[in-house]
Amino acid sequence: MIEKKVVYFEKPGKENTDKCVNIVKEAVRAEGFGHVVLATTTGETAEKMAEALAGAGVNIVAVTHSAGFKGPNTFEMPEGTRQKLISSGVKIFTGPMLTHSLEAAFSSKFSGIYPAMIIAQSLRRMGEGTKVVCECVMMAADAGLIPEGEEVIGVAGTAYGADTVLVVRSAASKRFMELKILEILAKPRG
């Protein structure tokens, strides 16, 4: 039997980011995780994680919204922040979002529901952050930024910041059914 502490936040949101960063830092120290995958839009969460894990030898992968997410030809992360993260050793993935891109276009045009949207809604039953962690881990594996089949820490949130920390067995999107949520370290209750 394994007993571990789980943190449940009263409310989702950015105000939980610092606590999530500390939870990850402690998990890396105690368990020796080698990979942290996190969602970030502006880069603020990635900057905090990079600072907290500096010198720990951890592969940090920051997954951003796709280019054009907020509108044609737009990026949400400022270029200066991107360059700062890269020079601190953070790998950045900016590309299509697995449960959002093509099927969202079909859904808005033809008012239907499609498999990736069903998967997204199913994962959201455990919270927005849970859906985003699973998505980001697969995207990072798809891009070759983390290995498949390893226990990694995934961090995401509701809108901005972080409020969810999970231990996930990584898989590429092609092998989605092999992706496993192994532990919940933190998540919002509501």
Residue ranges of domains in the chain, CATH in brackets: 7-188 (3.40.1380.20)
> b or e along 72-96 (b: 16 or more beta carbons within 10 Å of the residue's beta carbon)?
eeebbbeeebbeebeeeebbbbbee
Average pLDDT on 99-107 reads 70
Q: What is the pLDDT of residues 33-48, one digit of tens each?
A: 999 999 999 999 999 9
Residue closest to 14 by CA, chosen among 42, 50, 51: 42
Average pLDDT on 119-130 reads 88
- Residue 156: phi, psi to the nearest 5? -155, -175
pLDDT of residue 72 exceeding 90, the answer is: no
Average pLDDT on 93-117 reads 76
Average pLDDT on 106-127 reads 80
Query: Token digits for 159?
Result: 């809108």
